[in-house]
Amino acid sequence: MAEGTTPAPAPVVAQHTMPPRNEAYGWYVLLVIFIAAVLSFIDRQILGLLVVPIKRDLDLSDTQISLLLGLAFAIFHTTIGLPIGWLVDRTKRVNVIALGVLFWSLATALCGVARSFTSLFIFRMGVGAGEAALAPAAYSMLPDYFRPERLGLVMGIYGTAISVGSGLALLIGASVIDWLSHMDHLLMPSLGVVYSWQLVFIAVGLPGILVALWVWTLREAPRRGQLRMETTASGETRYGSVRLDEVITYIQKNARSYFGINLCYALVAVTGYGSNAWIPTFLIRTHGYTAVEAGHALGLIVIPAGTLGILAGGIMGDWLLKRGHENGRVLIMCLAGLSAAPFAIIYPLVDNPSVALALLFPTFFFTAFVTATWMASMPQMIPNQMRGLAIAIAVLINNLLGLGAGPTLIALVTDYGFGNEADLRYSLSIVCGAGLLLSSLAGFFAVGSFKRSLRYLENWQDIEKQDETARNGAAH
């Protein structure tokens, strides 16, 4: 340091007055982000309807298909999610989402030029990498537009993108397959021979480029909740930084709530992703449906059942919260698996396809309860400037189990447990039934501790100051 200068004073915590919420604009933001999320699930789930032609044209096994359905997507979706979560806590979240939409849309379109298992695996990893940006940024940003007591409904509406996107993937995919059914392949300039299933990837991927540009136009809300603010030497008030080790410490001190909630959601995701990946093939193998019939039948169930279930879970969670049950959303999560399990176990085993489809409705309805309640519970217990990374870690857990394990567990039980692809129905019943029951057990571990986590959040900055004082005292 040069002579005659004085060191700048260390930043101090500052009071920060927030402007009033603009909830009207928040609903517009929710609409745009919802459309982006719908696209993400279309791009993610469309492969499940294309299993038969991809297996035929690329000569793949069920296990290889399951890796494309799950692990290929989950690898980058989980690992890249962590640095993206760190970025979400430090930069403009709208930009993070827009770049993610652009990247996964291009990767989906590139799946349409894949010529082998390896190239399709790589492009699916790209889809997962792009989509890793959406959840941490959206879950961090959306609560800043709305009052806490409305968060369950808001996140429920956002969460319906899962069922709407998954259902549209089936309906759109089935319609395109039907439209292209008169041709096995096309000859296209520069690309050569292009199979009909490759055209499906191109058709659903390219519109995402326009949505990415739309997201870029959004105005971001100021961060709210428990915030660390600093006053610099020049008197400027700004958001303070939260270190990685502080996020890890926060999670450790709330481990029972954090991991209980996320394990509950992840085990439901095992059944959800596993079902979405293999039910179309189950309908084809067990009940003699064509791919078009399976897509239309399942899509018309997934959209209403999942949408109603997500909204019902979110509204019930808000209702319990308003009546003083701070852990009401966690209770709803626990009930989801118990309610859905009987239907999930039975529907693959019945011989009547109409009865099987009817039983799928309550399966999807009750399973969907966890979506809005999980989305609202995480911001409820995590400081704003930790949400991006904390939720990215949660998404890692959820996707490693749900995306990474769900489709593959079902395929492994089919290939190596029963040794006959016709026995896929039994694999669905075993894996999905067990996953739902275990999810409720995991959720119950978080019911009591969730209230303690809310008290910890209220006093988080005071507790950190006390811990830092104690550490400094021990050092001296």
Going from the C-alpha of 103 to that of each of 99, 126, 142, the distances in angstroms are 6, 7, 22
Average pLDDT on 219-230 reads 75
What pLDDT band is residue 11 in, cutting at 50, 70 and 90?
A: very low
User: How far is residue 417 from each of residues 74, 365, 438, measured CA to CA in Å?
Assistant: 24, 29, 21
Which of 250, 205, 260, 258 lies closest to 228, judged by CA?
A: 250
- Which range has the worst mean pLDDT, 213-217, 228-232, 285-289, 402-406? 228-232
How much is the pLDDT for 42? Answer: 86
pLDDT of residue 432: 95
Segment holding 194, helix H or strand E: strand 192-195
For residue 201, the enclosing domain spans: 21-221+243-460
Mean pLDDT, rounded, for 280-302 = 90
Would you state the pLDDT for residue 5? 41
CATH of the domain at 305: 1.20.1250.20
122 pLDDT higher than 50: yes
Residue 470: inside a domain, yes or no? no
pLDDT band at 50 (very low <50, low <70, confident <90, very high): confident
| Domains of the chain: total | 1
Instruction: Pick from 284-293, 320-329, 353-362 the range whose average pLDDT is largest.
Output: 353-362
Check residue 4 and give its pLDDT.
43
Q: What is the mean pLDDT of residues 374-402?
A: 86
CA–CA distances in Å: residue 266 to residues 18, 82, 444, 455:
35, 17, 14, 25
Q: Would residue 58 count as lying in a domain?
A: yes
Q: What is the pLDDT of residue 260?
A: 95
Q: Who has greater pLDDT, 463 or 444? A: 444
In a domain, 10, yes or no: no
How do beta strands 12-13 and 229-231 pair?
antiparallel
**Where does the pLDDT of residue 8 fall: very low under 50, low under 70, confident under 90, or very high at 90 and above?**
very low
Grade residue 14 by pLDDT with cuts at 50, 70 and 90. very low
Residue 238 lies in a domain: no
State the average pLDDT over residues 174-195: 64
Whether 93 is in a domain gets the answer yes
**Conformation bin of residue 272: beta by default, left when phi > 0, alpha when psi is -120 to 50:** alpha
Res 424 pLDDT > 80:
yes
**321 or 465, which is more confident:** 321
Checking if the pLDDT of 232 tops 80, the result is no
Whether residue 177 is predicted with pLDDT greater than 80 in this model: the reply is no
Contact 357, 282 (CB under 8 A): no
Q: For the packed helices 255-287 and 244-253, what is the interaxial angle rounded to 10 degrees?
A: 80
In a domain, 133, yes or no: yes
pLDDT for the residue numbered 368: 93
Calculate what percentage of the chain has a pLDDT beyond 90. 46
| DSSP H or E run through 292 | helix 291-322
What is the pLDDT confidence band of residue 113, given thresholds at 50, 70 and 90? confident
pLDDT for position 76 = 78
Query: Average per-residue pLDDT in the chain?
Result: 85
pLDDT band at 12 (very low <50, low <70, confident <90, very high): very low
Over residues 390-421, the pLDDT tens digits come to: 888 888 888 778 877 888 899 999 989 999 98
Tell me, what amino acid is at 219? R
- Dist CA 125 CA 133 (whole Å): 14
State the amino acid at position 370 in one-letter form: V
Q: Which of 318, 301, 266 is nearest to 167 (CA)?
A: 301
Residue in this structure with the two tokens 């709407």, named with its chain if needed: 164
Q: Say yes or no to pLDDT of 442 above 90.
A: yes
Interatomic CA distance for residues 33 and 84, integer angstroms = 17
Strand pairing partners for 342?
none
Render 260-289 in DSSP notation, one character per residue: HHHHHHHHHHHHHHHHHHHHHHHHHHHH--
In a domain, 14, yes or no: no
Mean pLDDT computed over 196-201: 82
Residue 97 lies in a domain: yes
Q: Where residue 188 falls among pLDDT bands split at 50, 70, 90?
A: low
